[in-house]
Amino acid sequence: MSSSENIADHVDGSKNLAHVLGFMESSAKLVHDALNSQFASRDDRAEGWQRLNSAMRYSLLQEGAKRFRPSLALMVADALGESQDLVLPYAGAVECVHTYSLIHDDLPSMDNDDFRRGQPTCHKKFDEATAILAGDALLTDAFAWLGEAYAKRPEVAVRAIVELSRAAGSHGMVGGQAIDLRAQRGDATEIEELRLMHQLKTGALIRAAAVGSAIICEATEDQIEDLSDYSAALGLAFQVADDLLDFDQARPEAGSYCAMLGPEKTREFLFELTDEALEAIIDWDERAETLRSLVLYNRDRSR
Amino acid sequence: MSSSENIADHVDGSKNLAHVLGFMESSAKLVHDALNSQFASRDDRAEGWQRLNSAMRYSLLQEGAKRFRPSLALMVADALGESQDLVLPYAGAVECVHTYSLIHDDLPSMDNDDFRRGQPTCHKKFDEATAILAGDALLTDAFAWLGEAYAKRPEVAVRAIVELSRAAGSHGMVGGQAIDLRAQRGDATEIEELRLMHQLKTGALIRAAAVGSAIICEATEDQIEDLSDYSAALGLAFQVADDLLDFDQARPEAGSYCAMLGPEKTREFLFELTDEALEAIIDWDERAETLRSLVLYNRDRSR
């Protein structure tokens, strides 16, 4: 039994699963409505402009979007005793950045995916040029949204913008995607490179969802640090749980933890990361219960 | 003789041309050095990450880049009696956004250009996926740069970020490119749609270069409004001058002012816009001389 289960035992697992799922469902609705109103359909003066708006809305408002990152941002507000409304624009901006990254990752020259969430990908539904522009626009408009929503608290706004842009740019998500692209072509992906790739490609934005939300809530530096540790471990734990779920012994996928470590050691790693996440917020009060439940939910979804 | 020449006559044309070219040359050097240091080559831990950095630097630091937008930002600082150093990060961020737009516009699914400034385009030199990511990263990193450079003046920083992101996103540059893509396929591009397309595709970012710089310099609202009028007219005047330069009577290019208005009326339009730009800053003192020279230089380059 790993040490993580010792900490994990303090949390009541059965009621937490329902709680997390309920929280994520209601956050998903909040976020959907915020995105729907921020990116309203428009009767623009030119056909191409309307098409761009349609493509942005198509990818942004798709059914089946889990809204994991914005939900995490709302959970952080909850844990800090702040209203979800306060962080909703930040949560929405993070989801715009996530959606743009999915649109661009799906492109023919990248992962060349025809479907996402059971629907045609943006470039399949529209066309490649429109998909590239829809991604570009979502990324850019996210920063305008942030700046406008938090203009009255400019210190907070700037810090959150720096957090999000650093997490999304060449030192974060885009850097991770660049590593991933080349690693797929190469053969020997080292475990360290794999970890770095995941930290940048998915971890950085998950961390920014939590840390940026804490900045908006004007959390203390200690709280921000705790949340940074928590979300860094959670982000990697999510990836590892995905690897376990997708693992097929007969066809081990290159560049997955399971293929490198085997399923048993991968599960151990998941327990360690779960422990790390729980430990980061061990001193937090009961308002952090949803954050705790989330890591346990993640640990158990791959069983 | 159009009324624009009445205003224009107050400015000494001959010495101004040399002055503008000298200013732009020295700004180009300043901007190049700022970009070179902000996006330093890195010994990153993964091949794909290094390749991304190389692609960003390849497009950003190319010889022959005119640096028109950042030069304009520096001219505005001059006209306001502020140091060029103050606005250099903003000017650099604007150039990052411009460079990202060129990389994406050149892609096979967009304009499919193999060369720019006599060099292979980013996707030709590297590959399509890397070019998309290099553009994404330049756009994103521009906002991080702005936030970090002006963190000590957060009100100014947020306002400049909103200015730049609004100019670049779906209500600005990306919207203009979306209109342009569809208009090329259609036949009857109306003059109003053409003007809207140019306003968004090139005008918005040129305006943001001037207005954002004024925000950074903490100009008065009146000054910002003057510069907004000035740069809106200048941006369109640049496009019209380009159309005149490119005009070939034997093969009038669809979607150009010359094809729609004929060269004579197009030249009249250029003189009107020049007048509009000069009039917007008519009350400004001699420190605005470079701004004045710039519109005259533009007017005369198509003769």
pLDDT, one tens digit per residue, over A43-84 is 667 889 999 999 999 999 999 899 999 999 999 999 999 999
What are the beta bridge partners of residue A115? Answer: A120
Q: Report yes or no: B252 and B258 within 8 Å, Cβ to Cβ.
A: yes
Which residues in B lie closer than 8 A to residue A192 (C-beta atoms)? Answer: 45
CB contact under 8 A, B51 and A107: no
Q: Supply the pLDDT for residue A256.
A: 84
Asked if A61 has any chain B CB less than 8 Å from its own CB, the reply is no
Look at residue B115 and give its three-state secondary structure.
strand
User: Taking CA atoms, what residue in A is nearest to B140?
Assistant: A169
pLDDT reported for residue A8: 57
Contact yes or no for A246/A256 (Cβ under 8 A) = yes
For residues B167-171, average pLDDT: 97
List domains and CATH numbers for chain A. 3-300 (1.10.600.10)
pLDDT of the residue at B256: 84
Q: Tell me if chain A has a CB within 8 Å of the CB of B179.
A: yes
Give the C-alpha separation, A113 to A122, whole Å. Answer: 10
Task: Pull the structure tokens for residue A51.
Answer: 């098409």
pLDDT of residue A303 exceeding 80 = no
Residue B212 has pLDDT above 80, yes or no: yes
Nearest to B261 by CA among B242, B240, B279: B240
Q: Tokens for A46? A: 């030119």
Distance from CA of B290 to the nearest CA of A (A): 31
Model confidence, pTM: 0.94
Residue A111 contacts B, CB cutoff 8 Å = no
* Pick from A148, A155, A186: CB nearest B162: A148
Tokens of B52: 């991304």
Is B140's CB within 8 Å of A174's CB?
A: yes
| Interchain contact A191–B (C-beta under 8 A) | no
**Among the partner residues B155, B169, B181, nearest to A129 by beta-carbon distance:** B181
- What tokens were used for B62? 């190319």
**Using CB atoms, which residue from B133, B151, B181 is nearest to A178?**
B133
Interchain CB contact of B54 with A (< 8 Å): no
Q: Residue B8: its pLDDT value, please?
A: 57
What average pLDDT score do residues A263-285 get?
Answer: 96
- Whether the CB of A104 is below 8 Å from some CB of chain B: the reply is yes
Residue B72, min C-alpha distance to chain A (Å)? 22
| Angstrom distance (rounded) from CA B30 to CA B38 | 12
Q: How confident is the model at residue A4 (pLDDT cuts 50, 70, 90)?
A: very low
**Does residue A185 have a pLDDT over 70?**
no
Confidence check: pLDDT of B7 > 60: no
The yes-or-no verdict on residue A35 having pLDDT over 50 is: yes
Mean pLDDT across chain A, nearest whole number?
Answer: 91
pLDDT of residue B193: 84
Question: Looking at residue A14, what is its pLDDT?
Answer: 62
Residue B285: left if φ>0, alpha if ψ -120 to 50, beta else—which one? beta
Return the number of CB contacts < 8 Å for A and B: 185
Tens-place pLDDT, residues A78-121: 999 999 999 999 999 999 999 999 999 999 999 999 999 999 99
Q: Which chain A residues have a beta carbon less than 8 Å from that of B166?
A: 144
Cβ-defined contact of B46 to A182 (cutoff 8 Å): yes
Q: Residue B189: pLDDT band by 50, 70, 90 thresholds?
A: low
The shortest CB-CB distance from A161 to any of B49, B161, B196 is to B161
**Cβ <8 Å between B129 and A110:** yes
Work out whether the CA dihedral B180, B181, B187, B188 comes out positive or negative.
negative
Min Cα–Cα distance to chain B from A127, Å: 9
Residue B120: its H or E element: strand B119-120
Mean pLDDT of the region A267-276:
97
Instruction: Please say if the pLDDT value at position B185 is more than 60.
Output: no
How close A284 comes to chain B (CA, Å)? 30
B127 part of contact set with chain A, CB < 8 Å: yes
CA dist A281 and A266 (Å) reads: 24
Name the residue in chain B with its Cα closest to that of A175.
B49
Which residue of chain B has the CA closest to A142?
B165
- A104: closest chain B residue by CA: B132
A179 three-state secondary structure: helix
CB contact under 8 Å between A140 and B51, yes or no, is no
Whether A17 and chain B come into contact, CB under 8 Å, resolves to no
Q: What is the DSSP letter of B74?
A: H
The pLDDT > 70 percentage for chain B reads 92
The answer to whether residue A13 scores a pLDDT higher than 90 is no
Contact A136 B139 (CB under 8 A): yes
Angle CA A14–A16–A20, to nearest 5: 135
Which amino acid is present at A283?
D
| Geometric angle at alpha carbon B112, from B110 and B118, rounded to 5° | 130
Q: Does the beta carbon of B53 lie under 8 angstroms from any beta carbon of chain A?
A: yes
> CB-based contact (8 Å) between A107 and chain B?
yes
Are A147 and B162 in contact (CB < 8 Å)? yes
As a whole number of angstroms, the distance between CA B270 and CA B296 comes to 10
Put simply, the chain B residues between 66 and 85 with a CB less than 8 A from any chain A CB are none
Q: What are the structure tokens assigned to B225, written together?
A: 């409004």
Q: pLDDT tens-digit profile of B45-65?
A: 788 999 999 999 999 999 989
Report how far residue A150's alpha carbon sits from residue A133's, in angstroms, rounded to the nearest whole number.
26
Rounded-to-integer distance, Cα A139 and Cα A76, Å: 23
Distance from CA of A235 to the nearest CA of B (A): 20
Please give the pLDDT value at position B3.
45
Mutate which of A53, A109, A113 to disrupt the B interface (most B C-beta within 10 Å)? A109
Rounded to two decimals, the ipTM of the complex is 0.94
Q: Which of A43, A123, A130, A158 would you mutate first to test chain B, the one with the most B CBs within 10 A?
A: A158
Tokens describing residue B108: 């096979």
